[in-house]
């Protein structure tokens, strides 16, 4: 190489494009490098190969050289870089920020990182031939222990605390080394027999070749996970890796235990945000280097590099948790489909309530559908769903007489019940009966929720909290009352009304500790719980064998939302929570309290008619011109003053309309939650029946908006959300 050459480096900054640096030595794409950016030393990722020619003198005078290549790891693989490029391009997010979002925290810093070598130590021929002197007791004990076979570091330290230094010295002297480890032979735990539908689904999936998205649409309790396990066993037998995406962290402990029981000895890596940084990075590196057989994780796991990837599974594919709502606003399910296409492998999307986007893809022939219409357990049947008309019934703490009677019946039978309400806290609001004051958040257009045990009012959006007032702040009347019910209030009410019942509340407040879910499963499966009280956390993925009754409260609120997706979400949520009942020998019953028993949503729920109601919703979306019949993007702006955010968006619309061929622009209008954390929010909706037309316009947005935003000062912020899930 004659003289310095220019390379392009991606840096974790909110700026489009990459940055040019000089290097005197070859640097491969994917290499992590240390560079000076402004007055900071940061980590960068090389994203282009070295050009074959030197840099002209003028350019060389203006460019900085890299500080150096960060040692210890090979360059990031091309599959990882390609996925990051696609995500950056599709979601119109800076490439540098996209890459560094996808990396574990430990790889984002400008420091050397090495993959820990976990292989056990062995003596070399030179080490075997020379025993330490008897007076060197620690060395001799370790040498003798290694005569019996390989030792990992923990076992070596059990022989002598000095093992770490001794082994390092012996490795340097050529007397010890690392054992060569072959992948462990595949062992399979016990598996239940498949029914006819499961076997037919497995046969179709096993025969699939190349890229193919599959929808496994199975009713709750139909044994979708067993189909996943059988497919993964085939991948393991062929020495291929599997990526399993799950929507919530709380689903992973139960799933991991099941995978570990089925695949004893296989290397299973878990990836989610509650792991310590070092633990997550170690798992990520193991996956990248092929030392993991199965990766189970939440949405960010979609970026985990896997050199032997053979299958992707997306469990509960409909779940909104797969969509990231800030920063890089990606949808993990959609990125997983793109990744499967690039790798030429199958992807399996599993759900009892598939998203309308997935249903539309099946109708269009892009995805193939497999159906599991009955429950896998021999005696299990879908639960009976009954609607409790509350229009002329008196409720006690939000509970109807029918629900209380059903709970008492289950208690007498020693069966478990679930009371579901998707509101945590004691009550959603405090109100004054004299003047009508309600407990609003001073920073958001939301109400402060009562958390009675802590005597706090708390905003579930920005985190603001304050003490519960003793009297109305407006008129001074002491007669202020909590209105409505939350999980805390229901827990207290049930403990008071049914003192013999053992009640366990499950919501974000009670499961924030790392090991909280392990404790929940221990109590439930140990027969220590009679009634579960919980939020949507309990609506999916959990298998509580003795649970025979589900009572759903407060669902009607989902019928009033201005969000066009609200009815789809409510229907899926109720079908999922109903599916917790009757999964074993005891028949299941579901009671839904409602003031709208004749609503088509509830009638479809009673009939377990997902397909019919999904067809109705899809038809409504087509008539209204909503996704999935059209493609949307939201341009959001927020500022301390709504007028400033609106003025910015109005200017953006005026600049975009001459370029918006085939794209409809609506707004600006306040967001559904117009105020959040002391900032006012407004938005433009951009939509088109053609994805290509929408993205051609979106590609022109960043430079245009950056120029407009400068005129409004630093107080104004803007963001773009492609395929938004929340308005």
Three-state DSSP state, 203: helix
Contact 316, 245 (CB under 8 A): no
Q: How far apart are CA 373 and CA 370, in angstroms?
A: 10
Q: How far apart are CA 446 and CA 427, in angstroms?
A: 14
Contact 4, 24 (CB under 8 A): yes
Nearest Cα neighbor of 175 from 153, 146, 154 is 146
Relative orientation angle of helices 566-578 and 610-624, to the nearest 10 degrees: 170
Q: Does 43 show up as a binding residue in the annotation?
A: no
Q: Tokens for 655?
A: 């600049």
Contact 415, 506 (CB under 8 A): no
Residue pointed to by tokens 């989902």: 558
Q: What are phi and psi of 88, to 5 degrees?
A: -60, -45
Q: Determine if residue 312 is left, alpha or beta; phi over 0 gives left, psi from -120 to 50 gives alpha, anything else beta.
A: beta
Q: Does 441 show up as a binding residue in the annotation?
A: yes
Contact 636, 682 (CB under 8 A): yes
Contact 539, 573 (CB under 8 A): yes
Nearest Cα neighbor of 516 from 249, 246, 298 is 249
The DSSP annotation for 568-622 comes to: HHHHHHHHHHHTTSSSSSSPPEEEEEES-TTSHHHHHHHTT-HHHHHHHHHHHHH
Q: Tokens for 362?
A: 């099946």
Question: DSSP class of residue 63?
Answer: P
The DSSP annotation for 319-349 comes to: -GGGB--SSS--BHHHHHHHHHHHHT-EEEE
Q: Determine if residue 370 is left, alpha or beta; phi over 0 gives left, psi from -120 to 50 gives alpha, anything else beta.
A: beta
Q: Which residues contact 334 (CB under 8 A, 6 or more apart)?
A: 723
Question: What separation, in Å, do the N-terminal and C-terminal C-alpha atoms of the chain show?
Answer: 53
Question: DSSP class of residue 65?
Answer: B
Question: DSSP class of residue 9?
Answer: E
What distance lies between CA 290 and its chain's CA centroid?
23
What distance lies between CA 576 and its chain's CA centroid?
18
Provide the sign of the torsion angle of the four alpha carbons 24, 25, 30, 31, taken in this order. Answer: negative
Q: Determine if residue 269 is left, alpha or beta; phi over 0 gives left, psi from -120 to 50 gives alpha, anything else beta.
A: beta
Could you tell me which residues are annotated as the binding site?
A: 432, 435, 441, 444, 459, 462, 472, 475
Could you tell me which residues are annotated as the binding site for Zn(2+)?
A: 432, 435, 441, 444, 459, 462, 472, 475
């Amino acid at each position: 190489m004659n003289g310095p050459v220019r390379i392009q480096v991606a840096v974790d900054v909110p700026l489009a494009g990459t940055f040019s640096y000089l290097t005197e030595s070859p640097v491969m794409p994917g290499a992590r490098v240390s560079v000076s950016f402004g007055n900071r030393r940061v980590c960068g990722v090389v994203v282009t190969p070295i050009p074959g020619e030197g840099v002209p003198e003028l350019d060389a005078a203006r460019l900085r050289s890299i500080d150096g290549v960060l040692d210890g790891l090979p360059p990031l693989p091309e599959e990882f870089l390609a996925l990051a490029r696609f995500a950056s391009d599709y979601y119109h997010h800076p490439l540098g920020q996209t890459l560094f979002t996808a990396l574990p925290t430990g790889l984002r810093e400008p420091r050397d990182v090495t993959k820990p070598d976990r292989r056990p130590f062995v003596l070399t021929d030179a080490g075997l031939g020379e025993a330490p002197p008897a007076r060197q007791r620690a060395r001799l004990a370790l040498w003798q222990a290694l005569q019996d076979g390989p030792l990992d570091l923990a076992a070596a330290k059990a022989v002598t605390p000095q093992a770490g230094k001794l082994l390092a010295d012996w490795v340097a002297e050529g007397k010890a080394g690392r054992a060569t480890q072959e992948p462990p032979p595949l062992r399979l735990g016990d598996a239940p027999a498949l029914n006819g539908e499961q076997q037919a689904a497995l046969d179709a999936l096993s025969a699939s070749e190349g890229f193919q998205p599959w929808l496994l649409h199975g009713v709750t309790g139909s044994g979708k996970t067993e189909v996943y396990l059988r497919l993964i066993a085939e991948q393991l037998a062929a020495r291929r890796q599997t990526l399993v995406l799950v929507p919530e962290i709380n689903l992973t402990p139960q799933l991991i235990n099941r995978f570990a029981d089925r695949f004893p000895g296989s290397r299973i890596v878990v990836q989610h945000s509650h792991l310590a940084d070092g633990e997550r990075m170690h798992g990520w590196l193991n996956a990248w280097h092929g030392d993991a057989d199965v990766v189970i994780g939440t949405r960010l796991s979609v970026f985990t590099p896997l050199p032997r990837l053979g299958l992707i599974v997306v469990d509960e594919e409909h779940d909104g948790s797969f969509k990231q709502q800030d920063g890089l606003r990606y949808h993990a399910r959609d990125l997983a489909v793109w990744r499967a296409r690039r790798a030429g492998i199958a992807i399996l999307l599993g759900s009892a309530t598939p998203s309308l986007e997935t249903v539309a893809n099946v109708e269009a022939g892009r995805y193939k559908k497999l159906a599991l219409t009955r429950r896998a357990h021999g005696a299990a049947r879908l639960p009976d769903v009954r609607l409790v008309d509350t229009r002329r019934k008196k409720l006690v703490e939000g509970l109807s007489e029918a629900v209380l009677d059903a709970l008492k019946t289950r208690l007498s039978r020693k069966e478990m019940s679930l009371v579901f309400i998707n509101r945590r806290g004691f009550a959603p609001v405090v109100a004054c009966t004299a003047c009508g004051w309600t407990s609003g958040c001073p920073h958001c257009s939301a109400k402060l929720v009562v958390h009675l045990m802590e005597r706090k009012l708390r905003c579930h959006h920005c985190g603001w909290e304050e003490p519960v007032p003793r009297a109305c702040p407006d008129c001074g009347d002491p007669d202020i009352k909590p209105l409505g019910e939350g999980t805390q209030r229901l827990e207290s009410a049930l403990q008071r009304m049914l003192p013999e019942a053992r009640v366990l509340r499950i919501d974000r407040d009670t499961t924030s500790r790392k090991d909280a879910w392990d404790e929940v499963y221990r109590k439930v499966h140990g027969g220590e719980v009679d009634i579960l009280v919980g939020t949507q956390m309990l609506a999916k993925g959990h298998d509580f064998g003795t649970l025979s009754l589900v009572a759903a409260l407060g669902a009607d609120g989902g019928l009033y939302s201005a969000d066009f997706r609200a009815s789809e979400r409510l229907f899926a949520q109720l079908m999922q929570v109903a599916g917790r009942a009757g999964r074993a020998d005891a028949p299941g019953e579901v009671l839904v309290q409602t003031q709208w028993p004749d609503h088509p949503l509830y009638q479809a729920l009673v009939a377990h008619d997902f397909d019919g109601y999904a067809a109705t919703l899809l038809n409504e979306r087509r008539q209204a011109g909503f996704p999935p019949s059209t493609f949307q993007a939201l341009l959001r702006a927020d500022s301390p003053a709504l007028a400033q955010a609106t003025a910015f968006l109005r200017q953006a619309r005026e600049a975009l309309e001459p370029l918006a061929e085939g794209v409809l622009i609506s707004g600006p209008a306040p967001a559904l939650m117009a105020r959040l954390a002391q900032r006012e929010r407004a938005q433009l909706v951009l939509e088109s029946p053609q994805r290509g037309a929408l993205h051609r316009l979106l590609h022109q947005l960043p430079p245009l908006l950056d120029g407009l935003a400068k005129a409004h000062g630093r107080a104004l912020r803007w963001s773009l959300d492609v395929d938004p899930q929340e308005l």
